[in-house]
Amino acid sequence: MKLRYRSIPFTLLFLLAACWHPHAAAPLRQEAYIWQRSWSPAVREAVQRASGISGFVVLAAEVDLRRGSPRVTRVPLDGSLKGRPVGAALRVTSFPSRFADEPGIVRLLQGLTRDVAAEARAKGIALSEIQIDYDCPESKLDDYRGLLPILRKAAAPVPVTFTALPSWMRQRRAFSRLIAAADGYVLQVHSLAPPASSRGKIPLLKAGEARDWIAEAARFGRPFRVALPTYSYLAAFDPNGKLIGLSAEGPLLSWPEGIAVRAARSDPAILAGLVRGWTRDHPRELAGILWYRLPVAGDRLNWTLPALRAVMAGRTPRGEIRAAVREPEPGLVEIDLVNAGDGEAAAPSAVRVRWQGETFLAADGLAGYRVTPGPEGARLERPGSGRLRPEERRTVAWLRFASRTEIHVELPKNPG
């Protein structure tokens, strides 16, 4: 009997090959963006404290092409970056024309790229890259590709990279040629569309989508990094649920009565899960993570450095509220609540304070707490909600005694 073999259809072979892709298991290099226009002492301190972060990409210039003549804002490279792995970002808005039709704009970007590279050399900063963050429409990827060799020549020998959106990958041919024209790219998988509704959570990133986009980018066969969010922003909706405005870091905005303000947040648990998963198994082309952005003291809508360190290690940050007792002067006791963990934590709704003796004179609550004295003790109660960020310390009460008195503070096991 003669055996008869059936041939496997070519389409099936192609699909099987597409499903199998070389992977790796190792921790990814992790860097962070610094997007401030002003290098304050708080920014420099954040850089000094950023242990575990392999490098930075700092905002060096913004080019606004939306209205008539280009408007350029330069951010000088700070001397504190010397000796660190640093990339410089050029932020470029979209514009109605094409680079191929605007030689003046091309010359401007070419000169700006050359100036940033020269400034770094003059300050002794060895740039690892010049990263172009251009709001390019999908329909103009080929036009964008024509710009990149010009900028690479201006930056040489510094590599030129760019940020990319997942939607660009739909234009497979144009995207393939675009990534071939640069020294690398960063895939941004967060905050890709404004919130459509005031109901439910407003996520900045969905884990499943991020994994799918990473897998899709890997199939193009070029190394890339992924940009992940640490920040939050506020979205304002009118009484009909229509989005009317967004607010991030900066002065607090006041909204008229009837406006609902919701927070769109980066979920540390989701992002820690992505880091854990990619550490165990990631496409070979995924070369690293770029966090947007480095936490700085005073940020209202960003993680803290302890939270970022936890997520970078693949851990979900956890808060840990402790009580600290201070005695500024004999007989005066002040009680602080301290978050000693690396995640936010709810302030306890009730705190017990105990002492012995009859030396108690007076007390008062702070930060929303009320004090109810009793025999050899007092109870602190907070009617509203409140949270403490990692490393935050909050004074919640003071007590006055006739003489130096030892007190004991008891926190509930499950504060809130």
Residue 383 belongs to domain with CATH number: 2.60.40
- Is 243 part of a structural domain of the chain? no
- Is 199 part of a structural domain of the chain? yes
Residue 78's CATH number: 3.20.20.80
- Is 237 part of a structural domain of the chain? no
pLDDT tens for 82-131 read: 999 999 999 999 999 999 999 999 999 999 999 999 999 999 999 999 99
Question: What is the number of domains present in the chain?
Answer: 2
What type of residue is 192?
A: L
pLDDT exceeds cutoff 80 at 7: no
- Is 18 part of a structural domain of the chain? no
Instruction: Round to whole Å and give the CA distance between 386 and 402.
Output: 32
Closest CA to 321 of 300, 336, 299, 306: 336
Contact 371, 354 (CB under 8 A): no
pLDDT exceeds cutoff 90 at 284: yes
Greater model confidence, 386 or 31: 31
Do 156 and 48 lie in a common domain?
A: yes
Instruction: Round to whole Å and give the CA distance between 83 and 126.
Output: 7
- Residue 132 — left, alpha, or beta (φ > 0 → left; ψ -120 to 50 → alpha)? beta
Question: Containing domain of residue 339, as a range?
Answer: 321-410
Q: What angle do CA 102, 142, 21 make, to 5 degrees?
A: 150
Question: What pLDDT does residue 415 have?
Answer: 54
- Is 5 part of a structural domain of the chain? no
Do 338 and 392 lie in a common domain?
A: yes
Structure tokens at 136: 């390019």
Do 303 and 361 lie in a common domain?
A: no
**Least confident stretch, 55-69, 161-175, 247-261, 270-284:** 247-261
Question: What pLDDT does residue 19 have?
Answer: 52
Mean pLDDT of 146-165: 98
Structure tokens at 70: 């280009």
- Which of the 8 DSSP states describes residue 297? T
Do 184 and 124 lie in a common domain?
A: yes
What is the pTM assigned to this prediction?
A: 0.88
- Is 247 part of a structural domain of the chain? no
Q: Which residues of 10-26 are buried (b: 16+ CB within 10 A; e: fewer)?
A: eeeeeeeeeeeeeeeee
pLDDT tens for 325-337 read: 999 999 999 999 9
pLDDT above 90: percentage of residues in the chain: 77
